[in-house]
Amino acid sequence: MFHSARIKLTAWYLLIIMLISVSFSVAMYRVLTSELDRVERMQRLRIEGILPERPMITQPPFRLDPELIAETKNRLQVILAIINFAILGTSAVAGYFLAGRTLKPISEMVNEQSRFITDASHELRTPLTSLKSEIEVNLRNKKLKLNEAKKLLESNLEEVNNLQVLSDGLIKLTQYQKEDNGLVVTKVSLASIIDEAIRKFANLAKNKNITIVNKTKDFTLEGNRQTLVELFVIFLDNAIKYSPPRSKVKLTSEKTDGNVLINIADQGIGIDKKDIPHLFDRFYRADKSRAKFGVAGYGLGLSIAKQIIDRHHGLIKVQSKPNKGSIFTVQLPVKHRPKLI
């Protein structure tokens, strides 16, 4: 589809360029030939004595050869034709290149949408299939008891909750991917943001016997409080989920060169080197080591975190070794830099 669109766009480029080039060539040819005709006519009139000779000219006037003028006009036509063919060839190559550059963002956007639809459909299929299978099997059971029906409803509710988590994650990811998402930026306290995020996971950490060590300092930066809280909620959620009991999750911070660096370090299962480049891809989950923990999720959390960091013009860095733990380093600028239009 995009190849044919590229060809068509190139053809339109060529049409516009050649219309301009041919029009300019015709105009130039007419101006030059009319000037030749004028000179020839003036010389002829002087020879015939109709026009006086110019002063200070002692040599007898000569008449331009009409055949020479005709040959000059023909050569001028050939030269202009060659120039236009050269412009045509150059424009074809340049136009094809520019058409590709023009269509590249559109192609990437369409491909991204296609992948989004494919990934979302794949993730939706599992809970929907489970719901459908359970309901169909139990509907055929004419001796279904009340306690069995309750268990079915509990299972169905769990799948519905999974679908809700997925849909909420997709909505958030879509909102953060928008260029203009109405992000309200104010001065916020890093300490209060971290404290709020930790409070949300106090019970979960306690139940897993995981200690959260908060060594962050209180820095003031410009950002959106709600999304920044969500950012650290995502990192804490991952750290606690993939950490064994009686381990620690440690948060530290420092300020350098107009940026605040926040480290979230855990003693969990770690991440394989080959998985790190894909951590922030939508729906990506490391299959081997993380599957052993049986953690539910759709691989949207870190994608959302990356979008939040991008919206704050920050950076994210990951250091990890299998069975040694991971360190996520978030770099956020102290001063918010709005995107120039």
The yes-or-no verdict on residue 235 having pLDDT over 80 is: yes
Contact 289, 269 (CB under 8 A): yes
pLDDT reported for residue 251: 94
pLDDT reported for residue 188: 92
279-302: average pLDDT: 64
- Burial degree of 159 (CB within 10 A; 0-12, 13-18, 19+): middle
**29 pLDDT tier (thresholds 50, 70, 90):** confident
pLDDT reported for residue 201: 85
pLDDT reported for residue 182: 64
pLDDT reported for residue 341: 37
Beta-bridge partners for 301: none
Rounded to whole angstroms, how far apart are CA atoms 175 and 193? 21
The yes-or-no verdict on residue 290 having pLDDT over 60 is: no
Among 12-16, 119-123, 315-319, which stretch is predicted with the lowest mean pLDDT? Answer: 119-123
The yes-or-no verdict on residue 294 having pLDDT over 60 is: no
SS (H, E, C) the chain: CHHHHHHHHHHHHHHHHHHHHHHHHHHHHHHHHHHHHHHHHHHHHHHCCCCCCCCCCCCCCCCCCHHHHHHHHHHHHHHHHHHHHHHHHHHHHHHHHHHHHHHHHHHHHHHHHHHHHHHHHHHHHHHHHHHHHHHHHHHHCCCCCHHHHHHHHHHHHHHHHHHHHHHHHHHHHHHHHCCCCCCCCEEEEHHHHHHHHHHHCHHHHHHCCCEEEEECCCCEEEECHHHHHHHHHHHHHHHHHCCCCCCEEEEEEEEECCEEEEEEEECCCCCCCCCHHHCCCCCCCCCHHHHCCCCCCCCCHHHHHHHHHHHCCCEEEEEEECCCEEEEEEEEECCCCCCCC
The yes-or-no verdict on residue 145 having pLDDT over 90 is: no
Rounded to whole angstroms, how far apart are CA atoms 226 and 304? 13
pLDDT reported for residue 181: 58
pLDDT over 90 percentage in the chain: 18
Q: What CATH code is assigned to 119-177? A: 1.10.287
314-326: average pLDDT: 89
Q: Domain residues of the chain, as ranges?
A: 2-111, 119-177, 186-333
20-36: average pLDDT: 87
69-75: average pLDDT: 82
Tokens of 89: 């060839």
pLDDT reported for residue 340: 39
Residue holding tokens 């049986």?
294
Contact 249, 240 (CB under 8 A): yes
Rounded to whole angstroms, how far apart are CA atoms 169 and 305? 11
Fold of 186-333: Heat Shock Protein 90 (3.30.565)
pLDDT reported for residue 150: 83
306-326: average pLDDT: 89
Question: What are the pLDDT digits (tens) for 37-69?
Answer: 887 777 777 666 655 555 544 455 555 667 777
The yes-or-no verdict on residue 316 having pLDDT over 80 is: yes
